[in-house]
Chains A and B, each alone.
Chain A
Amino acid sequence: MTLAYKLLFFIMILSFSWPAQADNMRMAVTTSFHNSGLSDILLPEIQKGIGVEVQLIVVGTGQALKLGRAGDVDAILVHSKSAEEVFVSDGYGTHRREIMYNDFVIVGPTNDPARVAAATNVVEALKAIEETRSVFVSRGDDSGTHRKELSLWKLSGFEANKFSPAWYRAGGSGMGSTLNTASGMNAYVMSDRASWLKFKNKGELRLLFSGDPVLFNQYAYLPVSPKLHPHVKNDLAIKLENWLTGPHAQSLIAGYKISGETLFMPNAKPR
């Protein structure tokens, strides 16, 4: 074991040649948030505003929560309310603070065999897909988006895990890869609006359905508990929370557009 430690020490020395930053914190965020490009706007502003370098670990909600539980990040920004509440009640997070919301959309082939575009609500749309057995690609990765999709199937009266793989394809990867898969198979898929708008490999796909309030998607910020993990940078996490919920950040979020479309609606309540 001592040899292993010597080796570790050696590797550390070798890698310390890389410059270390002073005031930085780590935040696990979901792919959908990162893919939207909003982080590219916010991160420099955070640096300017409060002098904190935020390092993003981009993962699914499931893994983000796991990183938070293990104390490997200082805060998380995710969108899966029930899981977040468990995270806080189990003592892993100090509290949950809502920041903003965006919405999910249903994307599918231009010829729309299930006539999803004609649906008046999301339940109708999903029922049509199920009825026509049109190919549907699911994230299948336990992410917030995936959990949302499962809850929507449930709302429509189905158990998604009982679907035949002949048409219901659970991919098990991030939003981008899932969209790539859907594009390749010319299939239906549920995506957050931001990922869809930023996606560059649309192929034959187009946006078919959106706007049902059930599709709204709340993002919340959760600092990791310093009681459980004394090493986390809770002071920076609080600083960041105050900044994100402050007027400057909220107006930046409201003003962020892709192709003229607003992606996120800020809804942080002042304390």
Chain B
Amino acid sequence: MSDLWFGVLNAFRLILSFDADLYEIILRSLHVTVTAVIVASAIGLPLGAWLAVNRFRFRRLTIAFLNAMMGLPPVVVGLIVYILFSRSGPLGVFGLLFTPTAMIIAQVIIIMPLIASIAHQAIRDLWADYHDLLISLNTTKRQRMITLIWDARRSLLTASLAGFGRGIGEVGAIMIVGGNIDHVTRVLTSAIALETGKGDFALALGLGFVLIALAIAVNIIIHRLSKTERAGQW
């Protein structure tokens, strides 16, 4: 129990000390995960909409596959990305291993199925509402997807935020493809793993609480911004 208290105290101490290294790590965590969320949303949201409005032969299978991908262990994703981007792998020439870019790619793969799946569910429900109207108005598939994505934007924001949550707390993949290099690829989660390895639970917990605070702050800020944008309550 006392370890927990030390963790909380440590978190405050860390934040208030304005330690440059800590802020660098926080910024890098945000940079990696926010970029990954943007890219994963750019793929996942239209994919979710597409799956909702299209009927095709392997639709059920595709959705089942997507749902299964949500449970994919990040370590496996990390390993696959590592093998692809290793100098002796097929994409080795880009020299991306152990860079933030590799971490972003791994996170996109981890987050995208989650975003697509939640988006698909939200859009499928809205599509059930809109179906008759949009068919009656002779919309093209493209117009349907755009309309549904726009009108479901609040639920889709939740999908993206869920992706952010999974990404910011993820450690297995980014450790492998990022290498946890100090000042280059070290992020909050890999720093926590490192300190835990050193048996420094107080510091590890402190960083853990910083991570939680960061995740909460991002969620609050995003919700604030999206509320002020329109008065509605969708």
Contacts and interface: CB of A to CB of B under 8 A. Distances in A.
Direct contact of A and B (CB under 8 A): yes
Interface of A: 7-8, 10-12, 14-15, 17-18, 21, 26, 31, 35, 55-58, 69-72, 174-177, 179-180, 183, 198-202, 229, 231
A61 B65 CA distance: 37
Contacts of B194: 58
B99 A15 contact: yes
Contacts of A14: 35, 38-39, 104
Interface of B: 28, 31, 35, 38-39, 43, 86-89, 91-92, 94-101, 104-105, 108, 179-182, 184, 194, 196-202
B104 A70 contact: no
B196 A55 contact: no
Contacts, number: 92
Contact of B199 (A21, A31, A179): A179
A104 to B, nearest CB: 18
Nearest to A55: B181
A200 B196 CA distance: 10
A264 B107 CA distance: 39
Contacts of B98: 26, 55, 57, 72
20 contacts: A8-B94, A11-B39, A11-B105, A17-B31, A26-B98, A26-B179, A35-B197, A57-B179, A69-B88, A71-B87, A174-B197, A176-B197, A176-B199, A179-B199, A180-B196, A183-B199, A198-B199, A200-B198, A200-B200, A201-B201
The residue among A12, A15, A200 with the most chain B CB atoms within 10 A of its own CB is A15
Contact of B198 (A15, A176, A183): A176
Contacts of A7: 39, 43
Nearest to B96: A12
Given A18-B28, A57-B181, A69-B88, 20 more contacts: A8-B94, A8-B105, A10-B39, A11-B35, A11-B108, A12-B94, A14-B39, A15-B31, A26-B98, A26-B181, A35-B197, A35-B198, A56-B182, A58-B180, A70-B87, A70-B89, A71-B87, A71-B92, A180-B199, A200-B198
Nearest to B101: A15
A10 B40 CA distance: 12
A176 B181 CA distance: 18
B197 A175 contact: yes
A8 B99 CA distance: 13
A45 to B, nearest CB: 15
A26 B179 CA distance: 10
